[in-house]
Structure 1
């Protein structure tokens, strides 16, 4: 019995390893920072496009909110004009998650998410030694994988 189960388990495990990720959006040129010096006004910006579609240019998305030292704020309903795409940024103790969404029918949405660990959000020094602000320092481009 064990001889029959082992090949099936190995086949299932290797299929899981090579299964492609379900990337529904890609973010390009993502930035997030609070205005120096020590301001609580923070801005998010990214270009959001859907790979595998005729959308090759994407849409420029922006949002702003109030943060604090070492903390970028949560955002609800960031806009990607002139499209109907939106994005949110949700925070927890380990980092933040960027979630993009587009309505595809009256009752259906396509949503994708990307997690950003806290290590990629840092206090950064500007040209002036007193100029300290919070900024995202991770990759500018990243995939957003389907969520339900």
Structure 2
């Protein structure tokens, strides 16, 4: 049976696409915490990020101390830093919770980005003596899915 080069390349592309669909986890997050500090105007996001399928052997620490909102809720973060790494992270509040993403440059015009949505049910308000503050109460470890 003879196959044309185009047919073989086309079949390989379909198989490759299927493999990408099955392996959509681009980053794994560990020890994730996010808290607004009582008696302070600051909020802290902190976690480790690991990229499976690479030569990385341990999670890279990331954190951002950012000004909290007057409502005590966890604020947005733009380009939070990861230690000794070109990776950064963003947090953007939306109606359903927080959109959390980690990105790393692959080229001057391309990033590898993974996302995870933190639902409102994982964000809790606690009443302090001076003010109510928000913190994250969801899973400490979770995966970020690849975004094209």
Q: Considering the TM-score relative to the shorter chain, is it more than 0.5?
A: yes
Segments ≥4 residues shifted beyond 3 Å: none
Structure 1 unmatched runs, 5+: 1-15
What is the TM-score with the length of structure 2 in the denominator?
0.78
Which residues of 2 match residues 34-73 of structure 1 at below 5 A?
Answer: 34-37=36-39, 39-68=40-69, 69=71, 71-73=73-75
Of 97, 100, 103, which residue of structure 2 is paired with 1:101?
103
RMSD: 1.9
Q: Does the 8 Å CA contact 2:73/2:133 hold for their aligned counterparts?
A: no
Q: Does the 8 Å CA contact 1:113/1:146 hold for their aligned counterparts?
A: yes
Q: How far did residue 70 of structure 1 move?
A: 5.0
Q: Does the 8 Å CA contact 1:70/1:121 hold for their aligned counterparts?
A: no
- CA distance in structure 2 between the partners assigned to 1:40 and 1:118 by the alignment: 21
What is the TM-score with the length of structure 1 in the denominator?
0.78
Counterpart for residue 31 of structure 1 = 33
- CA distance in structure 2 between the partners assigned to 1:66 and 1:121 by the alignment: 17
Count of residue pairs the alignment pairs up: 127
